[in-house]
Copies of this chain bind each other. A is one copy, B any other.
Amino acid sequence: MVSRARLARVLQRQSRPWVAAAVTPRGTTVATTVTATRCFATSKPQLIAASSSRCVAKLTTETYPEIKRNEKFTQLTKEHVSYFRELLGGESAIIDGVNKDANDDMLMFNEDWMHKYRGQARLVVKPKSTEEVSKILKYCNDNLLAVVPQGGNTGLVGGSVPVFDEIVISLARMNQIESFDEVSGSLVLGAGCVLEVADQYLAQRGYIFPLDLGAKGSCHVGGNVATNAGGLRLIRYGSLHGSVLGMEAVLPNGTIMNDLCTLRKNNTGYDLKQLFIGAEGTIGIITKLCIQCPQRSPAVNVAFFGLESYEKAQLAFREAKGQLSEILSAFELMDGLSQDLVHRAKKDAMPLEGKYPFYCLIETSGSNGDHDYEKLEKFLEDVMSREIIADGVVAQDATQIKALWAWRESISEVSGHWGGVYKYDVSIPLADMYSIVDDVNARLKEAGLLGDTDEYPVLAAIGYGHMGDSNLHLNVVVRRYDKAVEAVLEPYVYEWIKKRKGSISAEHGLGLAKKNYIQYSRDETMIGLMKQIKQLYDPVSHTHVCSTSKIQLASWFVSLAHQIKTHTSPAHTPRSILLA
């Protein structure tokens, strides 16, 4: 039995330096405050590795010279630009790099936030309506102009930026909230609406967006859906395949698909919108959405634990699922290395006194703070008395909740601070999930690439993620991008995952980064069936891509995902990091 004193210490500890604000009663109503401030889009990260004050990625075509432009696609001319200028009503709706030098303005559309990919687009168009999107796509289709749809450009797989001179179609101006039904919770909004804006709108009405992720301050809901983003609360609110009630999308030939249903149930034929969820913009551009939003829980609790092993983390997860049940809204895993990096980058004191190989963050949200706290207390007493957790702390107010979440959410940002990061977002059956991190570290060490000093390109491979979804983020933190590191990692990581029947992309999508590796998660029949769908919706691009570029032979699917009616406006991590 755990001593009451020890339990009380965990529940009420106030001595740690990260406890900044006044302690308020348990079960504080904090939901709105928390979500409004937790996005690190508002922070100002420093890029440490680059010597210049502005770090710009190498051109993708230099990094990957094997990718060839499909020469059947037309070169952009001044006449094309005139068409778009006239269609969209003037200068403010386009960025014109054809008639003038607009490289600076273009950079944020050409480059991803991790500075791994940089395209050479010379035109950005910013439609304001579905009809404009339709006309743009029809024109591009008729004139063989390659395009890349783009939302918040917060993606992690190079899927939201051009590779060559594709036209960037930015959805940023399609950001209206159109309607909200306060009884049913169905929200209709433009694809370019920023996730956090939508969530704040809902917070004022007692509802919550059924998706939350670090990049919420920048990412667009259209991109979230196009990439089937998972995020922090999938364990509670399920996947977007369940939450998206309706969709309006424009097909490559300009056809508007209006399936903007606001009802929870509609079994009248094939549910085609499902195909566009996670298709990464390769078969059409999502323009509007209807989302089923759940009630916002007024009471939120967050606890942070240290654990002695991965096995104990699995036990803690199992108990949390069983005992916290309907109020469990997040179960996040972080390894000791990841927390060390956050500590080194942020200099903040750590939440717990001791150091542990693993940490978990558990969030509960419910309608009754007292009930939730009682459940949490009972759970804590159980896992402490059985020595499943070694130490822990429970946030006492909104500030502490925010501070605890920062130890999880900063990892993604911080892991790029030493120069770069190879990101693998994978799904692996839980029992095996963490061992990939150990194996990758051992392999990098053996290859002489990992070490404490600058001569080694790799600092460490770290692991963290959404334990509730068997979703691990394996980040290989590097001092510089290096082909030798890449060669050690790939296809090794993918082969490792295939052996365990995992997924090589749990929530980030394929994009450019994983285009050659789809076969590690899908068999030939499945890839063939996907090819049929691409052919069906985008016959022009399909034919052209398949007939010219070498890379497509290796993997039809993702070649499309970087070349033409492609890309999307995905999830995760903010544009501001790029502008900092």
Contact = CB atoms under 8 A, between A and B. Distances in A.
Interface stretch (A12-20, A165-173, A322-330, A404-412): A322-330
A230 interface: yes
Interface string A506-519: 11111000100010
Interface stretch (A64-72, A114-122, A257-265, A445-453): A257-265
A183 B318 contact: yes
Nearest to A561: B269
A489 to B, nearest CB: 18
B262 A501 contact: yes
A181 interface: yes
Contacts of A365: 326
Interface string A359-390: 00000011110010011000000000000000
A278 interface: yes
Interface in A257-277: 257-259, 261-272, 274-275, 277
A257 B518 CA distance: 16
B371 A268 contact: no
A530 to B, nearest CB: 5
A270 B533 contact: yes
Contact of A521 (B243, B266, B322, B527): B266
B278 A270 contact: yes
Contacts of A259: 526
- Residue of A269, A371, A471 with most chain B CB atoms under a 10 A cut-off: A269
Contacts of A257: 525-526, 529
Interface in A393-429: 427, 429
B469 A264 contact: yes
Contacts of A275: 270-272, 274-275
Given A269-B530, A272-B530, A325 B263 contact: no
Contact of A526 (B258, B503, B508): B258
B367 A368 contact: no
A505 interface: yes
B264 A470 contact: yes
A295 B325 contact: yes
Count of identical protomers in the assembly? 2
Contact of A265 (B181, B325, B470): B470
A472 to B, nearest CB: 10
A228 B270 CA distance: 10
A368 B371 contact: yes
Contacts of A256: 525
A337 to B, nearest CB: 23
Interface in A319-356: 321-327
A236 to B, nearest CB: 9
A294 to B, nearest CB: 9
Contacts of A255: 525
Nearest to A157: B267
Contacts of A314: 183
A206 interface: yes
List of 8 A-B pairs having minimum Cβ-Cβ separation, nearest first: A242-B242, A274-B274, A325-B367, A265-B506, A266-B503, A238-B242, A371-B371, A268-B521
30 contacts: A184-B430, A206-B322, A238-B238, A239-B265, A241-B241, A241-B271, A241-B274, A257-B529, A262-B501, A263-B427, A263-B429, A264-B427, A265-B469, A267-B278, A268-B522, A269-B518, A270-B275, A270-B533, A271-B277, A272-B529, A272-B533, A274-B274, A274-B275, A295-B322, A326-B327, A326-B366, A326-B367, A368-B375, A371-B374, A536-B536
Interface of A: 181, 183-184, 206, 227-228, 230, 234, 238-239, 241-243, 255-259, 261-272, 274-275, 277-279, 283, 295, 297, 314, 317-318, 321-327, 365-368, 371, 374-375, 427, 429-431, 469-471, 501-510, 514, 518, 521-523, 525-527, 529-530, 532-533, 536, 557
Given A263-B506, A270-B279, A270-B530, 11 more contacts: A184-B430, A227-B267, A241-B271, A262-B429, A264-B469, A266-B505, A267-B506, A268-B514, A272-B530, A272-B533, A368-B374
